[in-house]
Structure 1
């Protein structure tokens, strides 16, 4: 399965989820979580941050997200979480 970077129409394609996440974290600008102010890499790691560190209600309230937008991001998290090796990503990002 190919993994495509969905940030700002980037479109870069990778053979594995880990490479796509590392690309997002190292190539694209970081963003500020509007709930808590933490600076996080854009893409998967930003979505993972907001959905693991904050409640769904906080996300909806802060970002004005629709239930469809929430479901889309939750589905994306489930899809990536099912295959991603977070230790491999952490190791790569420490380099």
Structure 2
């Protein structure tokens, strides 16, 4: 079985399922402020999803001083997560772990 790895900074935490990675990124890492529009989102998958769902590739490249390889890498991460993730499971886990 292949493990999923958190790719934020030097974290490298490993998980059995993608849902656990997304929950970890949401709960354990600082929020990310989008350099295009200023929206604050969880770091990791949700930041990538925001960037590519809400902005053009050109806006991303300009705002993050990125090149095509960086864009392709993040698009590949987004595609890999979205081909596997059960977002309702992520929402349910986040609801269970949210402090009261």
Question: Shorter-chain TM-score: which interval?
Answer: over 0.9
The equivalent residue for 1:82 is 83
Per-residue Cα deviation, 1:19-77 (whole angstroms, up to 9, x for no partner): 00100000000010111111100011100110111111110111111001001111111
Residue number in structure 1 paired with 2:30: 29
- Number of residue pairs the alignment of both structures matches: 95
The alpha carbon displacement at 1:94 in A equals 2.5
Q: Distance in 1 between matches of 2:50 and 2:94?
A: 16
Larger radius of gyration: 2
Equivalent position of 2:94 in the other structure: 93
Q: Does the alignment pair 1:42 with 2:43?
A: yes
Q: Where does residue 14 of structure 1 map in the other structure?
A: 15
Secondary structure (helix, strand or coil) at the match of 1:75 reads helix
Distance in structure 2 (CA, Å) of the matches to 1:90 and 1:53: 21
The alignment yields a C-alpha RMSD, in angstroms, of 0.9
Q: 1 CA distance for matches of 2:39 and 2:95?
A: 19
What secondary structure sits across from 1:40 in the alignment?
Answer: strand
Q: Residues of 1 paired with 2:65 and 2:88: CA distance?
A: 32
Q: Please, what TM-score do these two structures have when normalized by structure 2? A: 0.90
1:3 corresponding residue in structure 2: 4
Structure 2 residues not aligned, in runs of 5+: none
Whole-angstrom CA distance in 1 between matches of 2:24 and 2:6 = 8
